[in-house]
Structure 1
Amino acid sequence: MQFDAATTLETPTGAALRLYVQRPEGEPRGIVQINHGLAEHAARYARFAAFLAGRGFAAYAHDHRGHGRTKAPGAPLGSFGPEPAADKVLADVLAVNERIAADYPGLPVILFGHSMGAMIALTFLMRHADRIAAAALWNMPLASRPEARAAKLLLAWERFRLGSDVPSRLMPRLTFRAWAKAFPDARTPFDWLSRDSGEVEKYIADPLCGWDATVGMWRGVFDFNLMAADDRALASIPKPLPIQLVGGAADPATAGGIALKRLERRLRRAGFSNLETSIYPETRHESLNELNREIIMEDFARWVGRAVAPA
């Protein structure tokens, strides 16, 4: 399955983003802006985009710098490029958001993020909440601030020894490989992504998936984590904004959804009043590629319909 259209979007950061667009028949009810996760790419969301189009929503999804078919200065596959990399990634997200506003002025934009993409989405929301009508944060392995700072220290040591532009040796052991060990009877190192063996095989066969990120990219990931974990930054987000949190009870990346529940408690303490959290039984990390994906997508469609319904 493919998106309706694929184009290149030049951004002020110098990136040439690969941008995918899916449009419904007729005027959209709203636009879902998709942010993919680490070591994957936006074209994998074509099935989700087609589902959204069938419910009257347009979808825009781009490859982050260092991912997929996006080209950016100093950012080959696996690298965000020179620091401050996190700010450049967010500037790229803003460029896509501005493209959406130009294509569909006045229509509500629902910000969607999976895993690392959820960290990016939450950080973007902290800076540009006025541009977003609702936010869906899925499968986000958000570490606490002390944990993220400890990871940055490890990466600083690794950068001193190896440099920024080489694959990290430490972080894959603490993340992807550690999560794989949660399933001792797994057929592949990526069974932690989904119970659907066909989807896992497609991920493994995709040369744009599953690679080891550089030390610099991991530093950027934990920069997003630290920003997303900053309670003070939540003050910029309107408290009635609809926010959906989704996770899997068998997802080792979020400790079986505990990371999402922790985020929910944090948001409620901060005064957010329009939260919906769903932790799906037996579901692993990639909700949109799981055996129960049709149920999960239908639940999303109902939530987003309520989120953009006229008051």
Structure 2
Amino acid sequence: MDAEFLVGESNQPLFLRKWAVDPGNRPAQGHRAVFLGHSQPTHSGMLHDLGAGFRQLGWNAYSGDIRGHGKSTGSQTPLGHLDYEDGWQRAVADMRLLFERSFAGIPWEHRLVVVPNITALLTLEVLKTWPDLARHIVLISPPPNQRALAMFGKTFSRTRCILGSPDAPDEQSLHHLYAFLGSHLKERHHPADVMSTDRALIESVVADPLGWPTPTPAYWYNIFSGMLSAWKWPKGASVLPGTRCLILFGGEDAMLRDGGFLPPVERFLERVGFDDIASARIEGARSALFLEEKRFGIAERIVRWVGEEWHPVDEGDEIGVAELTSELLAKTSTLGASTELSPGELVELCYNAIDDESRWNEIIYRMIYEAERAGDLAEAALHKRILSLMPHWERSFNLNRQVMMNATLGVLLQSVVERLQIGVAILDSDGALLHSNQTYFEALTRLFPESVLPSSEQGIASSLTRELLTGELADPANQAGRGDTIILHDGTPVGFRFYPEALKHTGLQRQGPASVLVLRTSLGRDLEADSRMALIELAYGLTGKEAEVALLIAGGKSPEEAAETLGILVSTVRGHLKKAFSKMNVHSQSELTSRLLSGPLGWLG
């Protein structure tokens, strides 16, 4: 494979790859060239198998990255971004330049274009002014000519640009788009699953540093504006007579809704002069079938179609946007599509999505359904509605992410605690046992060997916990009566009770969680350094760096020595130390050391 950089508008570097046919494998009819496009989350580097497949069949294959994708990036156009004002027009110019370089000196009848997703839209734009671009054009899962879908996407992303930063990566837009696209899939574990059922392929796309970017709101604004523009041609515009078109899509296809949106696309292509319009459903594939050359033999299928040896026809049933969204609402909402929700009810749906993400899809379905029914009058009303809803929508999204992160951290923390063999119990303000892990039961069994304590016996465990608390010894450094306490059993420190700041408010509720009790279970083993950090992070709410600095100070190092050990500035160490003082309610290094050594590290370490 060869590669070069072209110079696009505004001096934007554009990366172009070429898979050249070996001279001995050149067909008798002369040079033939195929250009391969990419989709939003992919780039030309992922098309090696497809490019090599065409080369093997006698075609010089080219593939390039549109600005904001793959290696066609820079300070003005980072990965996943297009300029808000004219990004789409510049992307169209990029596409034209890549075509000009790929097809230089190649006769019209020997040119082939194979373009998925956004490059399919860009190709339609180029054809408006270059009607004899290529005789054979293959569109793979193109975004459909459904105005209501594009209008919603454009209005949503425009609102995100107005209320936020148009050129900052926007996880919320990415999440909602792929959740909407993937809502009809039979099986979905990751947003990128709309591309393929192949788990290894999805993981490779997501892991690729140039693939699966988080685009900016300005990027999406351009893409959805382009979706509206690509399917709207000037009056009388048409392709050169004899231009052929093949549409390929997956058996589970998010873009064309499994072929339901195909008939309007075919009617449009016929209206602008395409001849011999064919379509083929590739069973087992999804929208990124162009990445699965080895699995589906895409290059060979296309070359057979070019040679008029394959004449596929798909006879699937057409479905309109209103019908589709109405069906989806009937499945996901108790109210159905016919019930128009008030602004207050839409806000309520937003907050319901904190625990049930499908509610966001319901909001999107409802707005698209109403936009489809309203026709040309919908855009201003849609913009007003989304603008008023967006603050609640964003707040609910952030809360949902926070809940998910807390749940994930909870699982990870539980794993760490179990690995360290630490028994953990959550108590209410009266010391009653509310919850505990299995290791806590095991620790109680060792401390009270005469007691029979099945893991299901919450009552016995609660009773033994109360007995254990009679051996509480308050930290003399804390006179507030609600501080850290050492738990003694038979004169030996066996546990530690503390009141995390996170439980301050719940502890005021009757039988609400108020404190945490930890028991040691492994008496003859010193804690490793990372275990000590994890423990004091948990006990005092310190960050990782604050815990690291606190441990070094408690170990006898000065701030200067701690800074040298950690490779950071002394001022940074003092900043971490100041925050640790505040969280631990101490005022000096000696107090901090005393607090740590009289607390969990003193008895567990």
Tell me, yes or no, whether TM beats 0.5. yes
> Which one has the largest radius of gyration?
2
- SS of the residue aligned with 1:274? strand
Seq. identity, %: 23
Structure 2 CA distance for partners of 1:74 and 1:287, relative to 1, 3 Å: same
> Could you say if the C-alpha distance between residues 141 and 98 of structure 1 is closer, same or farther in structure 2, counting changes exceeding 3 Å?
closer
Alignment-derived partner of residue 7 in structure 2 = 10
Contact kept, 8 Å, 1:113 with 1:120, in 2: the verdict is no
CA contact (8 A) 1:138 1:246 kept: yes
Q: Which moved more, 1:238-247 or 1:167-176?
A: 167-176
SS of the residue aligned with 1:150? helix
Q: Does 1:131 align with 2:128?
A: no
Give the direction of change, closer, same or farther, for the CA distance of 1:183–1:150 in structure 2 (3 Å limit): closer
Q: Which one has more relative contact order, counting CA pairs under 8 Å at least 6 apart? A: 1
Cα offset, 1:72, TM superposition: 4.6
Alignment of 1:189-204 (within 5 A): 189-204=191-206
List aligned pairs for 1:36-55, cutoff 5 A.
36-55=38-57
Corresponding position of 1:182: 184
Distance 1:73 1:273, change over 3 A: same
Task: Name the structure 2 match of 1:20.
Answer: 17
Q: CA deviation at 1:222?
A: 1.3
The Cα of 1:136 is off from its aligned counterpart by 0.9
Instruction: Give 1:3-152 correspondences, 5 Å limit.
Output: 4-26=1-23, 27=26, 29-72=31-74, 74-102=76-104, 104-106=105-107, 108-152=110-154
Alpha-carbon distance, 1:183 to partner:
3.8
Q: How far 1:211 sits from its partner (Å)? A: 1.9
Q: Which moved more, 1:35-44 or 1:277-286?
A: 277-286
TM-score by length of 2: 0.47
**Closer/same/farther in 2, CA of residues 123 and 292 from structure 1, 3 Å limit:** same
Deviation at 1:41, TM superposition (A): 0.6
Encode CA deviations 1:199-230: one digit per residue, 9 max, x unaligned. Answer: 12211221211122111111111122112221
SS of the counterpart of 2:131? helix
Q: Is the 2:196–2:288 contact (alpha carbons within 8 Å) kept by the matching residues of 1?
A: yes
What CA deviation, in whole Å up to 9, does each residue of 1:114-155 have, x standing for no partner?
111211122222221223222111111224223322322222
| Partner Cα separation in structure 1 for residue 208 and residue 144 of structure 2 | 26
- The amino acid that maps onto 1:166 is A
Change (3 A) 1:100 1:284: closer
Q: Does 1:245 align with 2:247?
A: yes
Tell me which residue corresponds to 2:597: none
Quick one: distance in 2 between partners of 1:188 and 1:294?
22
In structure 1, what is the equivalent of residue 594 of structure 2? none
Aligned residue identity for 2:306: V
Cα distance per residue 1:75-94 (max 9 Å; x no partner): 10110235211111111122
TM-score by length of 1: 0.88
Aligned-CA RMSD value: 2.4
Aligned length: 303
Instruction: Say which of 261, 264, 267 aligns to 1:262.
Output: 264
* Contact persistence 1:39–1:209 (CA under 8 A): yes
Please, which runs of 5 or more residues in structure 2 have no aligned partner?
Answer: 310-605
* 1:191 shift after superposition: 2.3
Match of 1:275 in 2: 277
1:54-83 CA-partner distances (Å, limit 9, x unpaired)? 111011111110111113561101102352
Question: How far apart, in 2, do the equivalents of 1:100 and 1:22 lie?
Answer: 11
**2:265 counterpart letter in structure 1:** L
- If each structure's helix is expressed as a fraction of its own residues, which one has the higher value? 2
1:153 and 1:245 mapped to 2: Cα distance?
A: 28
Please say if residues 50 and 293 of structure 2, whose CA atoms lie closer than 8 Å, have aligned partners that are also in contact: no
SS of the aligned residue for 2:263 comes to helix
Distance between the aligned counterparts of 2:293 and 2:184, measured in 1? 19
Take 2:179 and 2:71, find their aligned partners in 1: how far apart are those partners? 25
Q: 2:215 pairs with 213, 216, 231, which one? A: 213
CA–CA distance in structure 1, aligned partners of residues 267 and 212 of structure 2? 32
> Cα 1:248–1:42, aligned 2, differ >3 Å: closer, same or farther?
same
**Residues 251 and 257, structure 1, Cα contact 8 Å, conserved in 2:** yes
SS at match of 1:131: coil
